[in-house]
Amino acid sequence: MMLEIIEPGVMEYEEALALQRLRQARRIREEIPDTLILLEHPPVITLGRRAVEEDVLLAPGVASGMGIRVVRIERGGEVTYHGPGQLVGYLICGLAVTGKSVKRFVHQVEDCLIQSLVEGWGIRAGRREEYIGVWVGEEKIAAIGLSISRGVTMHGFALNVNTNLDHFAWIVPCGIRTKGVTSIKKITGGEVPMDGVKTLVARKLKEVFGYE
């Protein structure tokens, strides 16, 4: 079972969304293998299917004046933020990889990130029963949101590496008002090379899902 990895660097959100949709359509037709796209975005706020406009705390005119895109998309979940220093991983995968179980797919993405954080930086991360994603204590370090069409996933995860956490004040992250957010940089106290994070996360994802 193969996994193709694409690393386009920094990409505008709409461009990455078009790439995902193209890859998903080709994966549905079984023209390509499962795909992991690892990249960063300029600042953007995205609203999932369950998002409410009130969870975007910037007025529309303020957001556009700051050059921040606000995009409603088809993934699950609520409002999230993407920006420089955050590793975004888009998964274009056939659900057969987890026996067609969406819940298991999400848990294995969480496991990949949890194992990466422990191995790379000794960060004791975990999951919470009531929330999707990866947590360090009371603070969220990685968000996960998917959409699925004809048994093939799209969207994926966002891991805070060197992310400017002040930007999360622009939103109510994932609709959760009572918890905070954190990053690898905040926990370790220093800038983290993104290339090393990409390499580790890609390796762990291959191990967890059983890709060659």
- The catalytic site residues sit at 174
Tokens of 123: 């960060």
Question: Kind of pairing, strands 34-40 and 3-10?
Answer: parallel
The alpha-helical segments, DSSP class H, found in the chain are 13-28, 60-65, 102-121, 184-188, 194-209
d(CA 98, CA 102): 8
Give the burial class of 150: count Cβ atoms within 10 A of its Cβ; 0-12 exposed, 13-18 middle, 19 or more buried: exposed
Locus of tokens 């762990």:
204
Contact between 126 and 167 under an 8 Å Cβ cutoff? The reply is: no
Measured CA to CA in angstroms, residue 154 lies from 20, 44, 205 at distances of 7, 18, 16
